[in-house]
Amino acid sequence: MAVERILVVDDEEPIREVVCSMLENSGYECVQACSGKDALERLHQDSNFQLVLSDLMMPELDGVGLLENVRRTHKELPVVMVTAVHDISVALAAIRNGAYDYLLKPFEREQLLAVVRRALETHRLRVENMRYQSNLEALVDQRTRQLRETIAQLENAYDVTLEALGDALDLKDAETEGHSKRVMAFTIHIARFMGMDEAAIRVVARGAFLHDIGKMAIPDAVLLKPAKLSPDEKVLMKEHPYLGYKMLHKIPYLGESAEIVYAHQEFYDGSGYPRGLKGEEIPLGARIFAVADTLDAITSDRPYRKARSVEVAREEIKTWSGRQFDPKVVEVFLAIDPQDWERLHRETITPKEHFSYSLRSLEPGK
């Protein structure tokens, strides 16, 4: 067991010698300092002390000054003040300022040892508590890192599943193959320029990618019908936002994204479907998606027409601002370099890359 070390501070050498003799005979190790200034130098050179036993009245730096310095640099180190009877009010003030205890001169050996034992026990408990807190913080940090890694692994697994769902929809509706990936890329790009944080962007990205997932519940005879849909078939087709919402909203990590799926056919002026939402009743992610979706629809080939330019899409979206589209989203969209859309349209990017935490590939200006 390590010997407990005590720094004994007094400007009178005979007193230091007597105090150290009492303590050393009881198994403690003592180091002497002749002033408060000398004590600070020794603490600076060697901080391995468990207690400071200091006289109150000393030249250069008195016991109160020493106490103030110790409290700043060695917060866990207890200080016991030694004083004459006429200094008792000063000693009590030192207690209020952080001294552990005080001894009145002259004192008996047992008085000294009793105070020292109590102070050292306090120091031991403080150190153990600090060690416990440090270990606890390290354990919490470790568990937090492990939890984050697990969540990241789960999200990656989820996103692989989402990609498979999107691919399944593409196989069913080959007419719009790749549409979900492109519209997700466009949606993310606008969301970034609107200042959305990455957590919100991940929600929007998933909603954009899965916006047509409800079409998987539409009969092929309706979904793939080459001729014009009948009124009843149009009603059935218009159910796909709600069907998609029903498929997704009970999945915990897709709950917010499901709201975007539900609202992705709503118009800003309230003339959309299925609920006729208007203005800010429509989730922001769905309002952003609406612009991105129209951009992709105009700039992509369709069986009934060839793709048109980004500039045509910009003019069309500008024309419908305030009716189909949120004017604030349109304003942000029009401020983005048109070449960004051409680049994103050319690139083939999987949902996993878009759902990553950094989303570096879609940072503005890249």
Helix (H, G, I), strand (E, B) or coil at 342: helix
Among 138, 164, 187, the domain boundary falls at 138
Task: Answer yes or no: do 188 and 247 share one domain.
Answer: yes
pLDDT (0 to 100) of residue 190:
96
In angstroms, the CA 352 to CA 248 distance is 18
Give one DSSP letter per residue of 220-288, joined into a string: HHHHT-SSPPPHHHHHHHTTHHHHHHHHHTTSGGGHHHHHHHHHTT--TTS--SSS---GGGS-HHHHH
pLDDT (0 to 100) of residue 314:
96
**Which of 82-91, 269-278, 353-362 has the least mean pLDDT?**
353-362
Task: Answer yes or no: do 195 and 339 share one domain.
Answer: yes
Does 152 map to a domain? Answer: no
Model confidence over 19-41: pLDDT tens digits? 999 999 999 999 999 999 999 99
In angstroms, the CA 264 to CA 239 distance is 12
Task: Answer yes or no: do 98 and 240 share one domain.
Answer: no
pLDDT score of 253 more than 90: no
pLDDT (0 to 100) of residue 23:
94
Mean pLDDT of 158-182: 68
Q: What is the CATH number of the domain that holds 134?
A: 3.40.50.2300
pLDDT score of 357 more than 60: no
In angstroms, the CA 356 to CA 232 distance is 41
**Which of 158-162, 254-258, 261-265 has the least mean pLDDT?**
158-162
Task: Answer yes or no: do 181 and 115 share one domain.
Answer: no
In angstroms, the CA 288 to CA 57 distance is 74
In angstroms, the CA 36 to CA 181 distance is 73
The domain total for the chain is 2
pLDDT (0 to 100) of residue 170:
65
Is the preceding omega at residue 106 within 30 degrees of 0, hence cis?
A: yes
Does 240 map to a domain? Answer: yes
Judge whether 208 and 232 are in contact, CB under 8 Å: no
Task: Answer yes or no: do 101 and 213 share one domain.
Answer: no
Of the candidates 224, 216, 225, the one whose C-alpha atom is nearest the C-alpha of residue 245 is 216
Q: Range of 106's domain?
A: 5-138
Does 278 map to a domain? Answer: yes
Mean pLDDT of 142-166: 74
Judge whether 256 and 203 are in contact, CB under 8 Å: yes
pLDDT score of 1 more than 70: no
Q: What is the DSSP letter of 305?
A: B
pLDDT band at 123 (very low <50, low <70, confident <90, very high): confident
pLDDT (0 to 100) of residue 327:
97
In angstroms, the CA 298 to CA 279 distance is 24
In angstroms, the CA 290 to CA 347 distance is 21
Of the candidates 253, 252, 255, 275, the one whose C-alpha atom is nearest the C-alpha of residue 263 is 275
Of the candidates 319, 268, 274, 313, the one whose C-alpha atom is nearest the C-alpha of residue 293 is 313
pLDDT (0 to 100) of residue 318:
96
pLDDT (0 to 100) of residue 301:
78
Task: Answer yes or no: do 87 and 209 share one domain.
Answer: no
Does 265 map to a domain? Answer: yes
Place of tokens 């208007």: 278
Report how many helices (DSSP H) and strands (DSSP E) the chain contains, helices first: 16, 5
Judge whether 186 and 230 are in contact, CB under 8 Å: no
In angstroms, the CA 352 to CA 154 distance is 12
pLDDT score of 176 more than 60: no
pLDDT (0 to 100) of residue 115:
92
Most confident of 110-114, 226-230, 281-285: 281-285
Q: What is the pTM of this model?
A: 0.56
Largest CA distance in the chain: 112
Task: Answer yes or no: do 131 and 278 share one domain.
Answer: no
Most confident of 243-252, 260-269, 298-307, 351-360: 260-269
Task: Answer yes or no: do 100 and 211 share one domain.
Answer: no
Q: What is the CATH number of the domain that holds 218?
A: 1.10.3210.10
Judge whether 53 and 82 are in contact, CB under 8 Å: yes
Burial of 9 (0-12, 13-18, 19+ CB in 10 A): buried
Judge whether 233 and 266 are in contact, CB under 8 Å: no
| Nearest-5° Cα angle at 343, 342 to 344 | 95
Looking at 75, 172, 181, 215, which residue is catalytic? 215
The structure tokens listed for 173 are 């509706």
Mean pLDDT of 198-209: 91
| Nearest-5° Cα angle at 232, 231 to 233 | 90
pLDDT (0 to 100) of residue 360:
39
Does 103 map to a domain? Answer: yes
Average pLDDT, the chain: 85
* 181 is an active site residue: no
Share of the chain above pLDDT 70, in %: 87
pLDDT (0 to 100) of residue 352:
47
Does 148 map to a domain? Answer: no
Does 151 map to a domain? Answer: no
Task: Answer yes or no: do 238 and 350 share one domain.
Answer: yes
Mean pLDDT of 199-212: 91
**268 pairs with which residues across the strands?**
none
Task: Answer yes or no: do 187 and 120 share one domain.
Answer: no
Helix (H, G, I), strand (E, B) or coil at 27: coil
* Half-sphere exposure (Cβ direction) of 134: Cα atoms closer than 13 Å: 6
Mean pLDDT of 55-63: 88
Task: Please give the residue that has the higher pLDDT: either 132 or 1.
Answer: 132
Does 161 map to a domain? Answer: no
The helix, strand and coil proportions of the chain, stated in percent and rounded to the nearest 5, come to 65, 10, 30
pLDDT (0 to 100) of residue 15:
92
Model confidence over 302-352: pLDDT tens digits? 766 788 999 999 999 999 999 999 999 999 999 999 999 988 888 754 444
Judge whether 241 and 265 are in contact, CB under 8 Å: yes
